[in-house]
A = this chain, B = another copy of it.
Amino acid sequence: MIVMRSVSIIGVGTTNFGILEGMTIKKLASSACNRAILDAKLDRGNIQAFFLGNYIGGILEGQETLAPIVACEIGLQKNVACTKVEGACCSAGIALRQGYLLIASGVYDFVLVGGVEKMSGASTAKNTEALAAGMDKDMEGYTGLTFPGYFGLVANRHMYEYGTTIEQIGMVSVKNRKNAVKNPRARFRKEVTLEEVLHSRLVTDPLKLFDCCPIADGAAAAVLCPTEMARSFSDKPIEILGSGHGLGHSTSYAMEGPSCTATVFAAKEAFQMAKIQPSDVDVAEIHDCFTIAEIVDSEDIGFFERGKGGPAVEEGLTQVNGRIPINTSGGLLSKGHPVGATGLGQVYEIVRQLRGEHENQVQNAEIGLAMNLGASGLVSTVTILRGVH
């Protein structure tokens, strides 16, 4: 792969994540996109392509073809190529990557990328069924396995292989809920204690209710352009240093232990492109759809050695003032997980960190990382960002 020019984020926008009554999926996406365009101070007539990530808008809302519908709503030009991209929880991460690659390679100068999900109109049962659309229906999906079940299996295996404790896993929830208290974009802003996590209702052994992220409505967006043009639009453009997109396994029986191959490959690609090491990252938003996922992610990315992700949480290394602050936003566990929006929701948080504007600001944060994991470890996206001070 050859990448020819540097790309930067010149604007970001997001809705709050939560139960947003009266907001349709189109309105959510349009709102975030309009905010990103406003933040970029860009005349929208300059936008040449639009990629919108969405996962289950078809199943839950009966709405597909969202990219051109939103484009009409926000008034993009008729020569703008509008594409919905889908890769489960990586949908928005993929949207960002498409925009990045097509600017880096010189095809476009200005690309709008977004992500959206509307979930609160459906019951918990319907949401669980819809979310399971990322399972291979010919294989594990056929058995009725859903994602809470899958991550329960991963947690048990991680505990078996490495001696990770249920307390270490629960501490991810305690940390992230604490971070969310200051974040107005989060659905849950109330702290929980380890005791509360451990004694909350069992969902799928060993995961309890507070080990699981809540659903949410939400959207997030960003405007990208070549770095050489970025200063004309933003005082604090954020450079995209690297982008990775990996493939994993479509069934858990194919996995080699409690690790997601897709993340390993996506991280490797992103770090090679960025020419940095995991230890160079100052702040990260990584996929904590379940507490155990954050621990596995942190090992797959290379922040910690295999099996050391649990102790790292216990030792406070991932707290806001720790060695590698993870999910200073509160993560999916607190913000909620509007699936198709989550990837750019993370990027929104990282951009605020690298601009020095975050509610839980990491001092002197220069390099940030956002990472999503989709389906049964089937797909992963990693984006590495750098603030310019």
Contact = CB atoms under 8 A, between A and B. Distances in A.
Nearest to A88: B65
Contacts of A58: 56, 58-59, 64, 130, 133
Contacts of A233: none
Interface in A111-137: 129-130, 132-134, 136-137
A218 to B, nearest CB: 18
Given A2-B107, A375-B68, A379-B68, A137 B26 contact: yes
Contact of A68 (B1, B63, B82, B250): B250
A79 B247 contact: yes
Interface string A271-311: 00000000000000000000000000000000000000000
Contact of A55 (B25, B27, B64, B262): B64
Given A48-B1, A87-B82, A68 B248 contact: yes
Instruction: Give the interface SS of chain A, mostly helix, strand, loop or mixed.
Output: mixed
Nearest to A58: B58
A34 B317 CA distance: 47
A66 to B, nearest CB: 8
Interface stretch (A93-101, A171-179, A207-215, A341-349): A93-101
Nearest to A61: B137
A265 interface: yes
A246 interface: yes
A292 B61 CA distance: 30
B378 A68 contact: yes
A95 B254 CA distance: 28
A180 to B, nearest CB: 28
B26 A68 contact: no
Interface string A47-86: 0100000011011011111011101110011111111111
A244 B358 CA distance: 41
| Stoichiometry, copies per complex | 2
A72 B249 contact: yes
Interface in A233-279: 245-250, 254, 261-262, 265, 268-269
A79 B63 CA distance: 31
A6 interface: no
A203 interface: no
Given A65-B86, A375-B65, A246 B78 contact: yes
Given A1-B48, A83-B87, A68 B247 contact: yes
Contacts of A80: 247
Given A1-B48, A3-B107, A78-B261, A65 B249 contact: no
A105 interface: yes
A157 B81 CA distance: 28
Given A26-B138, A58-B56, A378 B1 contact: no
Nearest to A63: B137
Given A98-B98, A101-B102, 13 more contacts: A55-B64, A58-B64, A62-B130, A63-B133, A65-B88, A65-B379, A68-B87, A69-B378, A71-B247, A77-B247, A79-B265, A80-B247, A81-B97
